[in-house]
Amino acid sequence: MKRREFLAGIAGSLALPRAALAQVDPLDPLVWVVTNGAAVKQGKVTVVLPQLADNGNSVPISITVDSPMTEADHVKSIHLYSEKNPVRNMANFYLGPRAGKAEINSRVRLAGSQKVTAVAKLSDGTFWYDTAAIVVTLSACLDES
Protein backbone atom coordinates (compact mmCIF):
# COMPACT_ATOMS: atom_id res chain seq x y z
CA MET A 1 0.00 0.00 0.00
CA LYS A 2 1.25 3.39 -0.88
CA ARG A 3 1.64 5.97 1.76
CA ARG A 4 -0.94 8.21 0.08
CA GLU A 5 -3.57 5.47 -0.03
CA PHE A 6 -2.90 4.62 3.57
CA LEU A 7 -3.39 8.20 4.69
CA ALA A 8 -6.53 8.56 2.61
CA GLY A 9 -7.85 5.40 4.22
CA ILE A 10 -7.26 6.73 7.70
CA ALA A 11 -8.83 10.06 6.86
CA GLY A 12 -11.82 8.25 5.36
CA SER A 13 -12.34 5.99 8.34
CA LEU A 14 -12.22 8.98 10.66
CA ALA A 15 -14.60 11.07 8.62
CA LEU A 16 -17.18 8.40 7.88
CA PRO A 17 -18.58 7.62 11.33
CA ARG A 18 -19.06 11.27 12.08
CA ALA A 19 -20.97 11.83 8.86
CA ALA A 20 -23.04 8.74 9.54
CA LEU A 21 -23.90 9.96 13.03
CA ALA A 22 -25.07 13.34 11.88
CA GLN A 23 -27.42 11.86 9.33
CA VAL A 24 -31.03 10.92 9.78
CA ASP A 25 -31.31 7.18 9.41
CA PRO A 26 -33.74 6.67 6.53
CA LEU A 27 -34.27 3.12 7.77
CA ASP A 28 -35.58 4.33 11.10
CA PRO A 29 -39.20 3.11 11.01
CA LEU A 30 -40.50 6.43 12.30
CA VAL A 31 -38.78 8.29 9.49
CA TRP A 32 -39.63 5.59 6.95
CA VAL A 33 -43.34 6.11 7.59
CA VAL A 34 -42.92 9.66 6.37
CA THR A 35 -40.32 9.32 3.63
CA ASN A 36 -41.10 5.84 2.35
CA GLY A 37 -37.40 5.25 1.99
CA ALA A 38 -36.49 8.47 0.18
CA ALA A 39 -33.23 10.23 0.99
CA VAL A 40 -33.31 12.89 3.68
CA LYS A 41 -30.83 15.68 3.09
CA GLN A 42 -29.51 18.14 5.59
CA GLY A 43 -30.39 21.76 4.97
CA LYS A 44 -33.30 24.15 4.41
CA VAL A 45 -34.66 23.32 7.88
CA THR A 46 -33.52 25.20 10.96
CA VAL A 47 -34.28 23.96 14.45
CA VAL A 48 -33.67 26.39 17.27
CA LEU A 49 -33.49 25.14 20.83
CA PRO A 50 -31.86 26.72 23.86
CA GLN A 51 -28.43 25.22 24.55
CA LEU A 52 -29.40 24.35 28.07
CA ALA A 53 -32.74 23.73 29.73
CA ASP A 54 -33.04 23.53 33.48
CA ASN A 55 -36.32 21.72 33.19
CA GLY A 56 -37.26 19.41 30.33
CA ASN A 57 -40.97 19.79 30.93
CA SER A 58 -41.30 22.85 28.77
CA VAL A 59 -38.59 23.72 26.29
CA PRO A 60 -39.27 26.34 23.63
CA ILE A 61 -38.54 25.12 20.12
CA SER A 62 -38.63 26.92 16.81
CA ILE A 63 -38.63 25.18 13.45
CA THR A 64 -38.18 27.19 10.28
CA VAL A 65 -38.03 25.89 6.73
CA ASP A 66 -36.53 27.96 3.95
CA SER A 67 -39.35 27.87 1.41
CA PRO A 68 -41.26 30.48 -0.62
CA MET A 69 -44.54 28.73 0.37
CA THR A 70 -46.17 29.14 -3.03
CA GLU A 71 -48.58 26.75 -4.71
CA ALA A 72 -45.68 25.25 -6.68
CA ASP A 73 -43.12 25.10 -3.92
CA HIS A 74 -44.21 24.73 -0.35
CA VAL A 75 -43.68 22.69 2.77
CA LYS A 76 -46.21 19.92 3.20
CA SER A 77 -45.32 18.71 6.65
CA ILE A 78 -42.78 18.97 9.42
CA HIS A 79 -42.05 16.00 11.65
CA LEU A 80 -40.35 16.37 14.97
CA TYR A 81 -38.27 13.57 16.51
CA SER A 82 -36.59 13.21 19.84
CA GLU A 83 -33.63 10.94 20.43
CA LYS A 84 -34.47 9.84 23.97
CA ASN A 85 -38.14 10.46 24.66
CA PRO A 86 -40.28 7.36 25.21
CA VAL A 87 -42.49 8.66 22.42
CA ARG A 88 -39.92 9.62 19.82
CA ASN A 89 -42.18 11.22 17.28
CA MET A 90 -43.06 14.31 19.26
CA ALA A 91 -45.27 16.06 16.77
CA ASN A 92 -46.25 16.35 13.12
CA PHE A 93 -47.29 19.66 11.64
CA TYR A 94 -49.13 19.86 8.34
CA LEU A 95 -48.86 23.07 6.38
CA GLY A 96 -49.67 24.22 2.90
CA PRO A 97 -49.33 27.17 0.57
CA ARG A 98 -51.90 28.98 2.72
CA ALA A 99 -49.40 29.15 5.57
CA GLY A 100 -47.38 31.90 3.89
CA LYS A 101 -44.39 31.20 6.05
CA ALA A 102 -43.01 27.85 7.14
CA GLU A 103 -42.36 28.54 10.76
CA ILE A 104 -43.65 26.77 13.84
CA ASN A 105 -42.99 27.63 17.45
CA SER A 106 -43.99 25.37 20.27
CA ARG A 107 -42.88 23.93 23.57
CA VAL A 108 -41.72 20.36 23.98
CA ARG A 109 -40.98 17.89 26.74
CA LEU A 110 -37.53 16.37 26.65
CA ALA A 111 -36.37 13.32 28.60
CA GLY A 112 -32.71 14.14 29.03
CA SER A 113 -29.91 15.74 27.07
CA GLN A 114 -30.27 14.80 23.44
CA LYS A 115 -30.59 15.80 19.83
CA VAL A 116 -33.88 16.91 18.39
CA THR A 117 -34.46 16.38 14.69
CA ALA A 118 -36.99 17.99 12.39
CA VAL A 119 -37.74 16.45 9.01
CA ALA A 120 -39.60 18.55 6.45
CA LYS A 121 -41.48 17.19 3.48
CA LEU A 122 -41.59 19.55 0.52
CA SER A 123 -44.16 19.68 -2.25
CA ASP A 124 -41.55 18.51 -4.79
CA GLY A 125 -41.16 15.26 -2.86
CA THR A 126 -37.79 15.96 -1.29
CA PHE A 127 -37.04 15.65 2.40
CA TRP A 128 -34.79 17.89 4.44
CA TYR A 129 -33.75 17.83 8.06
CA ASP A 130 -31.87 19.62 10.76
CA THR A 131 -30.87 18.66 14.28
CA ALA A 132 -30.27 20.69 17.40
CA ALA A 133 -28.53 19.47 20.52
CA ILE A 134 -29.66 20.41 23.98
CA VAL A 135 -28.53 19.75 27.54
CA VAL A 136 -31.43 19.07 29.88
CA THR A 137 -30.69 19.21 33.59
CA LEU A 138 -33.98 17.86 34.88
CA SER A 139 -35.61 15.56 32.39
CA ALA A 140 -39.33 15.31 31.78
CA CYS A 141 -41.65 12.33 31.26
CA LEU A 142 -39.86 9.67 33.28
CA ASP A 143 -39.46 11.28 36.67
CA GLU A 144 -42.23 11.44 39.22
CA SER A 145 -42.59 15.18 39.34
Residue closer to another protein, measured from CB, 24 or 95:
95
Residue closer to another protein, measured from CB, 41 or 101:
101
Residue closer to another protein, measured from CB, 93 or 135:
93
Considering only residues 90-109, where is the footprint of another protein by CB under 8 A?
A: 90-96, 98-101, 103-109
Taking CB under 8 A as the binding criterion, the range among 30-38, 46-54, 78-86, 119-127 that sits at the site for another protein is 78-86
* Residue among 24, 31, 59, 65 that touches another protein (CB under 8 A): 59
Residues 6+ apart with CB under 8 A from 10: none
Q: What share of the chain is helix, strand, coil (3-state, %, to 5)?
A: 20, 40, 40
Residues 133, 136, 108, CA angle at the centre, nearest 5°?
75
Q: 64-67: long-range contacts (C-beta < 8 A, 24 or more apart)?
A: 64/102, 64/103, 65/102, 65/103, 65/120, 65/122, 65/128, 66/102, 67/102, 67/122
Phi, psi of 12 (to 5 degrees): -65, -45
Residue closer to another protein, measured from CB, 6 or 94:
94
Q: What H or E segment, with its residue span, contains residue 67?
A: none
Considering only residues 11-40, where is the footprint of another protein by CB under 8 A?
A: none
As measured in angstroms, the least distance from the Cβ of 60 to another protein is 9
As measured in angstroms, the least distance from the Cβ of 23 to another protein is 22
Binding site for another protein (CB under 8 A): 57-59, 80, 82, 85-96, 98-101, 103-110, 141-142, 144
